[in-house]
Amino acid sequence: MNTIDNCKIINLPKIHDPRGNLSFVENGRPVPFVIKRVYWIYDVPGGEVRGGHAYQELQEFFIALSGSFDVVLFDGQNSKTVTLNRSYFGLLVPSMIWRRLENFSTNAVCLILASTLYSEADYLRDFNMFQRTKTKGPDDNN
């Protein structure tokens, strides 16, 4: 089972250039999964919160393309908050981690690289069920 220790900042290549810097990702480099989907969150009103769920299978990689925001992570026991505020690094969040995005700055753009196509069935939106699954494991019916 993944813990918050498996949620890692990964530096991206940065090509310095007086005309403007450039960063990039490719499948597996340095993001450690094949990218099946890309989505982005933007125009977030002050004080709003996104996320607030976990995924059974999906792995994600978050990049602050513009501005900043906090990713609050919880593994059923421990939590940590990671601030993303540069476009040359990102945060890897594996499956079965409860995550919430908050504290968006004005004009923040959050890019998310995802390891699967969209599947509502993969979401765990019930916090208590998530907690129970993390405590007992998915196959434990006792």
Give catalytic residues, as residue numbers: 53
Total residues contacting ligand TYD by CB under 6 A comes to: 6
The distance of closest approach from Cβ of residue 114 to ligand TYD in the complex, given in angstroms and rounded to an integer, is 7
User: What's the longest Cα–Cα distance across the chain?
Assistant: 61
Considering only 6, 12, 30, 37, the residue that binds ligand TYD (CB under 6 A) is 37
Using the minimum distance from each CB to ligand TYD, give the nearer residue, 11 or 48: 48
Q: Cα(103)–Cα(71) distance, rounded to whole angstroms?
A: 9
**Cβ atoms of 134 and 1 closer than 8 Å:** yes
- In sequence order, what are the beta bridge partners of 79? 74
100 binds ligand TYD, rule: CB under 6 A: no
**Tokens matching residue 84:** 């993303």
**Cβ atoms of 74 and 98 closer than 8 Å:** yes
Site for ligand TYD in 45-74 (CB under 6 A): 50-51, 53
Tell me how many degrees the CA angle 117-118-120 measures, rounded to the nearest 5. 140
42 binds ligand TYD, rule: CB under 6 A: no
Using the minimum distance from each CB to ligand TYD, give the nearer residue, 12 or 102: 102
Q: Would you tell me which residues interact with ligand TYD (CB under 6 A)? A: 37, 39, 50-51, 53, 118
